[in-house]
Copies of this chain bind each other. A is one copy, B any other.
Amino acid sequence: MSKIIVVKNILDANDRIAEENRKLFDNEKIYVLNLMSSPGAGKTSLVERTIEALQERYKIGVIEGDIQGSADAERIAKLGVPVVQINTGGACHIDGNMIREALPGIDLTQIDLLIAENVGNLVCPAEFKIGENAKVMVLSTPEGADKPAKYPLMFQQSEALIINKIDLLPYVDFNMEKAKKDALTINRNLKIFEVSCKTSAGLNDWYGWLSDRIESFQTK
């Protein structure tokens, strides 16, 4: 009778694939962001602004994760950077294997920065590594300041928190001090940016932080 092998922990299996992705990225000196948020918080707008600001300095590629459709990839393609659309077919997050299957669509020798935009979901994406250098999350002001306390894992796992849609602050009940305090209570190393992808307010600090991270990775 042949031995039955049971993969007990799907997260263990994912970690191994994410590590293989990471080796590929290391070989090519590619800095990889895993960008996460609730639906509609502004991930794609942030990717657009970041490409516009940094594409003369770095060669950028994008992987778009969506349950279905390719609307976001079409937005990114207009900016002239290579982009691959992952359709998860119902799954609530992207994982290491989906990234691995997307990679043949991008010439990795021509990329310094790879941005993977996750499925809009404040819960599940934080559980799955994809081979990233950093997880970065977006929280938008209309979502409310109670989100760190209610969805702690993503705040704990992220290196940077981008608080987007500050142009709406006069019209929504968002307690910025509470949001930042609660986020830092969960993760005291979290770097926080207050931005508007609509007006571009506050984005220069984000570009500076990201550039520093890319350059210290490439020269190490």
Interface residues of A (CB under 8 A from B): 38-40, 66-69, 71, 90, 92, 119-124, 140, 142-144, 146-147, 149-153, 165, 167-168, 171-172
Contact = CB atoms under 8 A, between A and B. Distances in A.
Contact of A71 (B92, B120, B150, B165): B150
What is the total number of copies of this protein in its complex? 2
Contacts of A122: 38-39, 120-121
A146 to B, nearest CB: 6
- Mostly, the A contact residues are loop
Contact of A149 (B69, B119, B120, B152): B69
Contacts of A142: 40, 140, 142, 165, 168
Given A39-B143, A142-B40, A168-B142, A67 B150 contact: yes
A123 B93 CA distance: 9
A67 B123 contact: yes
From A69, A123, A153, A165, name the one whose CB has the most chain B CB atoms within 10 angstroms.
A123
B168 A67 contact: no
A88 B167 CA distance: 34
A43 to B, nearest CB: 11
A120 B40 contact: no
Given A142-B142, A167-B171, A168-B171, 11 more contacts: A38-B39, A39-B143, A39-B151, A67-B150, A68-B150, A71-B150, A92-B121, A121-B123, A123-B124, A124-B124, A171-B171
B39 A40 contact: no
A55 B183 CA distance: 36
A150 B120 contact: yes
Nearest to A153: B90
Contacts of A153: 67, 90
A67 B151 contact: yes
Nearest to A91: B123
A148 to B, nearest CB: 10
Contacts of A143: 38-40
A123 B119 CA distance: 9
Contacts of A119: 123
